[in-house]
Amino acid sequence: MNVGLRKFPYPYRAALAISSDVDNTPDTTTYFAMLDYLNGTGSTPFGRGLGLEVGNSFWFFNGTGGRQVSYFDSDGRETDFAAPCRELWQSGHIDTLHSYGNFDTGGFTRQHAEKGVAALQAHGANIPVWVNHGNEHNSQNVGPHRPFHGGQPDSPAYHMDLTREAGLRYYWIGRLTHILGQDARRRFGITTKRWLQELVRLLRYRNIDRAFYDFSNRLILPATLQDGATVWDFQRWVNAWGEVTELDAVDLAVQLRPRNIAALIRNAGFLIIYTHMTENLPAARGLPDGLEAGLKNLKRAHDEGRLLVATSGRLLRYRELSQFVDYQATATDGGTLITIAPRLRAPVGDLALEPSDLNGLTFHVDDPDRVEVTFGGKVLATATNPPDETGRPSISIPWVALEYPRA
């Protein structure tokens, strides 16, 4: 009996998510038109929908007085963004809280978090991902250093007890990377860039206490906040050294160049792209040069089974699961029984698993036709797979794409 967990869901050889911050989205029309284009299959202002799986982020509040898309207005009333936002909370396509709001001029208090969390709980929303926002005036930001006060219990901006209770598990607290693929294969280019990043950290950022790079090139790693809680800290990819400036839709076209996607697949890595894909992008203007071609190339790579494209939350959950899932393989008279434990025991705390969390888990086995996989005492529906690039066959719990409700 020779059983082992495959790194990616079969048949994929790498995985990618687009993590888009909501900053400077011109209006709700553009926000939802882009999501319709990426996830739907109907007609949109940007063209026929691609049918991919790409998520987005949101704010509860806009504390600046400027024009920003947010769930509540300055008086705490729901905006026209709120109802369609809730629909995509439920479908999983809005899965990232870009902090509680834009407070670039200050003003965040714990009461903002209380109102936001109350809205999530009232609608049964599961938002797994947090992304810090903006400058030092955004005191709600979290991380094990100042000026981030969201995890500091003696601060008026403390909210992490509420935020954890609301179910957020994965936090971007500022860690960036130039390496095309985290948890990637050991290749010369990967190793070289790891050392270059470390050299930049030692020289340029030697007097800064924030950890910009993870030398081990992990997608997720534990971070301990000021209140003693440990959370998953994930990193986002910005560029291959200096090619990107604003991290907007124009730069997303650069980030999605076919050569970058090909390198990611060769490196067999996980990648979360950092962007603001609707920043300064009125729907009437159309897509920037190169972005449509880049997204269609992404679609081909996914449809051909080379690259898994998923929301940030699903990709992060899969990576955590693939590292820490507990399973037992036992020989039976009829073949092999794989039993998956109901709880995930991870460095940031235990997690009770649901059957949907297991999507994509793939086990290399010698004879997939003689293997059963069980969870919670029930036999799961599985698919048997022919030999992959390793030469080994496998059995998988199929990866089920999210159902996009708008188009």
CB 340: neighbour CB atoms within 10 A?
A: 22
Last residue of a domain, one of 269, 289, 309: 309
This prediction's pTM: 0.96
Which residues share a beta bridge with 129? 96, 170
Does 242 score more than 90 pLDDT? no
Q: What percent of the chain lies above the pLDDT cut of 90? A: 86
Q: How many C-alpha atoms does 16 have within 13 Å on its Cβ side?
A: 29
Pairwise CA distance, residues 94 & 86, whole Å = 8
Is the domain of 276 the same as that of 372? no
Is the domain of 179 the same as that of 217? yes
Is the domain of 317 the same as that of 304? no
For residue 64, the domain's CATH number is 3.20.20
Q: For position 362, what pLDDT does the model report?
A: 98
Is the domain of 91 the same as that of 193? yes
Is the domain of 135 the same as that of 57? yes
Pairwise CA distance, residues 113 & 303, whole Å = 40
Q: Which long-range contacts (CB under 8 A, 24 or more apart) does 239-244 make?
A: 239/178, 240/178, 240/180, 241/178
pLDDT tens per residue, range 333-374: 889 999 999 999 999 999 999 999 999 999 999 999 999 999
Is the domain of 228 the same as that of 326? no
Question: What ranges make up the beta strands (E) of 276-380?
Answer: 308-309, 327-332, 335-340, 343-346, 349-352, 362-364, 371-375, 378-379
Tell me which of 17-31, 112-126, 133-147, 168-182 is least confident: 133-147
Domain membership flag for residue 8: no
Pairwise CA distance, residues 90 & 127, whole Å = 9
Pairwise CA distance, residues 377 & 160, whole Å = 35
Q: Which residues of 37-72 are buried (b: 16+ CB within 10 A; e: fewer)?
A: bbbbeeebbbeebbbbbbbbbbbbbbbbeeebbbbb
- 209 confidence band (pLDDT: 50, 70, 90): low
Is the domain of 47 the same as that of 173? yes
Is the domain of 223 the same as that of 111? yes
Pairwise CA distance, residues 90 & 126, whole Å = 8
Domain membership flag for residue 386: yes
Last residue of a domain, one of 258, 276, 309: 309
Domain membership flag for residue 2: no
For residue 376, give both structure tokens: 């919670």
pLDDT tens per residue, range 117-137: 999 999 999 999 999 999 999
- 243 confidence band (pLDDT: 50, 70, 90): confident
Q: For position 266, what pLDDT does the model report?
A: 97
Task: Look up residue 206 and give its DSSP letter.
Answer: T
Is the domain of 319 the same as that of 241? no
Residue 261, amino acid: I
Pairwise CA distance, residues 152 & 156, whole Å = 9
Give the mean model confidence (pLDDT) for residues 42-51: 96
Structure-model confidence comparison of residues 365 and 245, the more confident one: 365
Q: For position 11, what pLDDT does the model report?
A: 98
CB 265 within 8 A of CB 308: no
Which residues share a beta bridge with 222? 232
Is the domain of 176 the same as that of 229? yes
Strand 230-234 and strand 236-237: the pairing is: unpaired
Q: Taken in order 142, 145, 147, 149, is the CA torsion positive or negative?
A: positive
Averaged pLDDT of the chain = 94
Q: For position 353, what pLDDT does the model report?
A: 97
Pairwise CA distance, residues 212 & 236, whole Å = 10
CB 109 within 8 A of CB 68: no
CB 178 within 8 A of CB 210: no
Is the domain of 63 the same as that of 159? yes
Show the domain range for 196. 16-309
Last residue of a domain, one of 258, 293, 309: 309
pLDDT tens per residue, range 149-196: 999 999 999 999 999 999 999 999 999 999 999 999 988 788 888 888
Does 210 score more than 90 pLDDT? no
CB 69 within 8 A of CB 31: yes
Pairwise CA distance, residues 321 & 305, whole Å = 21
Is the domain of 275 the same as that of 361? no
The set of residues, in sequence order, having a beta carbon less than 8 Å from that of 96 and lying 6+ positions away, is 19, 55, 56, 57, 58, 127, 129, 130, 131, 312, 313
